[in-house]
Chains A and B, each alone.
Chain A
């Protein structure tokens, strides 16, 4: 390969900056969207894995909505489940509690998504009604105070996530202050350490943005109309979790005389489920990105074909002084590669900017990993080669005599 190629390529791209940038746009969009989505998915998976590690594998989850045993439809169903009224009832909680194979049973009742300190209001939180046994399942590390206990079952107390604590109380010890939910004050009893992180479901409930209330007072806030988004269950020690799943399944079916409008999941199934959701989303965006890359690649081919025509004389001169067809070919391939790799790098930078924005304004935590970056670079190279071949061949095949005659 001709050693001056890279410099030559960069020089000729620099001489047409705007054109080069516009040409790279498709590549930039394609690469940045893939990197963003794959990193988001990676972040989500890691959160779920973190949760499983902290909850332990013997924790079961009951979720509303029937999930098809397999296939992709199940993820969609499940994602929508929390938008509608739950099919899980208080009675389900009670009957599961009576099962001998079951240890702790904890309902998660979704109350609302806003809380305030009287003045300032947060609208991106999950206010959840639950029982004190959640503490045994989650075992969250506390920054201040502790989780509420059985004795608090009827009290207006709250345990808040780290982000809620800093945003409402500015980092000072929040114990004894009140959070206001739906007009009712709850005295803060504990604040969870941010490292506790993680989810309590695949619905991206981030502990940092959670306000836990005891079940009964929370129920009173909504006039008894509970919305149980899930039930967490720990199998009794020594009991096979699969046996517990079967028992829970049977009980719930009895409660609703055979209608299966719920799903019992073990932790590893939850991971699988999340993986499924992530893969579906990644696949979808990758499809879009492929279109962007295709369009971008065709754009590059187009611009390069024009550039080869414009530079006919240059090609003639290079051949006259001894460039072989192969050397001309590699010169133009290098130019195409410089365009796509440049586009790939800008794409990665764009996605890093998107990450910063996502972290600032949403609860999403994209995780950048080496394979994604390598994938982005490899894709840029492949697109570059594929779409520069035609222009480079056109350049290499130019007849030097005709090229030099064209004045």
Chain B
């Protein structure tokens, strides 16, 4: 039995003229212990897919089986509880609560389980110890570096001992050093048996994955199993063809994959590629392009 099983899952946003088909009859199955990387241009439906798998959203059509149980039509309360107990989310922009200190942020999911404050704090402390941020317990998020903040967010995702960790562009906002630290943490988690789903624009990061899927226009267009440590061929192909992209751009997540996917490359390639000197500017352009 697969941990995650999607059967012809579609997602439609909006009504009438403004309808968007964000997911188009996706079939996907993920086994326990896999590290799945999801790649694809902006707007192809990666986040929507993660939201459905993470029980933040429901499919418009099709079936979603989580641990063998149909989870596509759950009531909101049930969905929230499953989300709390089975899923750990990690976001690009960390999404810690700015007014809570590190310890309280990490412990927050336990509060929604009704655990006492003392036990919450103890458990959060243990997890922080594990990821090496015990000494930052009483810091506010704004006093941490990007890498530290994302590790705190990962600690929060781990605290309920979830079946699935969903990371949507977790390094998209980090520099190369911080990206590496965060990815090593994911690798550790993978080695210890966690199932990880990670959206990324950075081909380099497919090294950590056991399988890569490529999406375009709400469909999975290619799929590739990779050996740990090697960059996925599909990702590499595009990556090599678009060598003009600077190292910095790659690390910031602005890769050729943004506009292109292997196999079914788009016919009309937009020439205008942000050749920014600073990664800050390219990131801004990236965000703009996404809208």
Residue contact A322 to B99, C-beta cutoff 8 Å: no
| C-alpha gap A42/B85 in the complex (Å) | 57
Q: How many interface residues does chain B have, given as a range?
A: 20 to 34
Give B58-72 as 1s and 0s: 1 = Cβ < 8 Å from A's Cβ atoms.
000000000000000
| C-alpha gap A317/B111 in the complex (Å) | 14
The minimal Cβ–Cβ distance linking B15 to chain A, given in whole angstroms, is 15
Q: How many interface residues does chain A have, given as a range?
A: 20 to 34
Counting CB contacts under 8 A, is B146 at the interface? Answer: no
Which residue of B is nearest A327, CB measured? B112
Which residue of B is nearest A407, CB measured? B93
Q: Which residues B241-266 have CB closer than 8 A to chain A?
A: none
Counting CB contacts under 8 A, is A11 at the interface? Answer: yes
Which residue of B is nearest A320, CB measured? B89
A-B contact count (CB 8 A): 66
Chain A positions within 8 Å of B156 at CB level: 321
| C-alpha gap A327/B160 in the complex (Å) | 17
| C-alpha gap A275/B80 in the complex (Å) | 57
| C-alpha gap A2/B54 in the complex (Å) | 23
Chain B positions within 8 Å of A327 at CB level: 112
Identify which of A319, A324, A407 contacts B56 (C-beta below 8 A).
A319
Interface of A is mostly: helix
The minimal Cβ–Cβ distance linking B176 to chain A, given in whole angstroms, is 23
Counting CB contacts under 8 A, is A84 at the interface? Answer: no
Most chain A beta carbons < 10 A, residue from B99, B111, B156? B111
Residue contact B77 to A321, C-beta cutoff 8 Å: no
Counting CB contacts under 8 A, is B144 at the interface? Answer: no
Counting CB contacts under 8 A, is A323 at the interface? Answer: yes
The minimal Cβ–Cβ distance linking B9 to chain A, given in whole angstroms, is 15
Q: Which residues B159-185 have CB closer than 8 A to chain A?
A: 160
Chain A positions within 8 Å of B81 at CB level: 322, 324
Chain A positions within 8 Å of B28 at CB level: none
Residue contact A3 to B111, C-beta cutoff 8 Å: yes
Which residue of B is nearest A11, CB measured? B99
| C-alpha gap A400/B111 in the complex (Å) | 18
Q: Which residues A304-342 have CB closer than 8 A to chain B?
A: 313-314, 316-327
Residue contact B95 to A320, C-beta cutoff 8 Å: yes
The minimal Cβ–Cβ distance linking A404 to chain B, given in whole angstroms, is 7
Residue contact A404 to B77, C-beta cutoff 8 Å: no
If A12-B99, A324-B81, A327-B112 are given as contacts, then 19 extra A-B residue pairs at C-beta distance below 8 Å, sorted by A number, are A2-B112, A3-B111, A3-B116, A3-B117, A314-B97, A318-B112, A320-B56, A320-B95, A321-B156, A322-B80, A322-B83, A322-B84, A323-B80, A323-B84, A323-B112, A324-B76, A324-B80, A401-B56, A404-B95
**Would you list the 7 A-B pairs with minimal beta carbon distance, nearest first?**
A322-B84, A324-B80, A321-B109, A4-B111, A317-B95, A322-B112, A323-B112
Chain B positions within 8 Å of A, measured between CB atoms, are 51, 54, 56-57, 76-77, 80-81, 83-85, 89, 91, 93, 95-97, 99, 108-109, 111-114, 116-117, 156, 160
